[in-house]
């Protein structure tokens, strides 16, 4: 990997972390564990469409680990990681069939899978299916939040920030 690329990826990770930390300050709107805006995923969606699979996975893993350290909730790392991986793998798979105008859809699917991963992890860790009753709530909140972050990412991607201004 070129130095230039490493620098750019770390810059993206830093932006995602800043968004993540600012979002922590926003009080939870709903008393449902796992339901949140996920604004940091704007960067994830952006990376999925601008970088290759390996680089995106690296970026997301770094963000999740550092994010849970900064957020002060390391015990939640299992949930975040399971969600992020589910979401990422699916978004990378459907990247080819989704045109530029439907990136928000890819983000919605990613958000739903993120919640699916979290729920599966919770079932595994708690050895109980009680958390499954949150799933429909999470699908609804995930769809709305995913559409919003997806639209944000879509506008950024379509604007096409030229690489040269960064390289100089």
Partner 1 sequence: MTKSVKVLLVSVLLLFIGSVIAVIIIVRKPKGTYVEIVQNNEIIYSFDLSEEKNRTFRIAGQQGGWNEVRIEDGKISITDADCPDHTCVKAGVLRSENIPIVCLPHKLVIRFADKEQK
Given the rule CB under 8 A, which residues bind partner 1? 28, 31-33, 72-73, 75-76, 79, 94, 97-99, 102, 105, 108-109, 112, 122, 125-128, 130-131, 133-137, 139-140, 143
Burial letters for 93-113: b for 16+ Cβ neighbours within 10 Å, e otherwise? eeeeebeeeebbbbbbbbbbb
């Amino acid at each position: 990997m070129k130095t230039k690329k490493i620098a750019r990826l770390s810059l993206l990770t830093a932006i995602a972390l800043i968004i993540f930390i600012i979002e922590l300050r926003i009080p939870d709107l709903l008393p449902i564990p796992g339901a949140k805006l996920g604004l940091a995923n704007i960067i994830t969606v952006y990376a999925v469409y601008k970088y290759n699979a390996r680089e995106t996975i690296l970026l997301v893993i770094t963000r999740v680990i550092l994010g849970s350290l900064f957020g002060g909730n390391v015990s939640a790392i299992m949930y975040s990681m399971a969600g992020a991986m589910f979401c990422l793998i699916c978004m990378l798979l459907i990247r080819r069939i989704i045109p530029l105008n439907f990136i928000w859809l890819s983000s919605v699917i990613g958000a739903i899978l993120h919640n699916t991963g979290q729920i599966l992890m919770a079932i595994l860790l708690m050895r109980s299916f009680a958390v499954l009753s949150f799933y429909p709530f999470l699908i609804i909140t995930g769809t709305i939040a995913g559409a919003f972050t997806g639209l944000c990412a879509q506008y950024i991607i379509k604007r096409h920030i030229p690489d040269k201004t960064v390289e100089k």
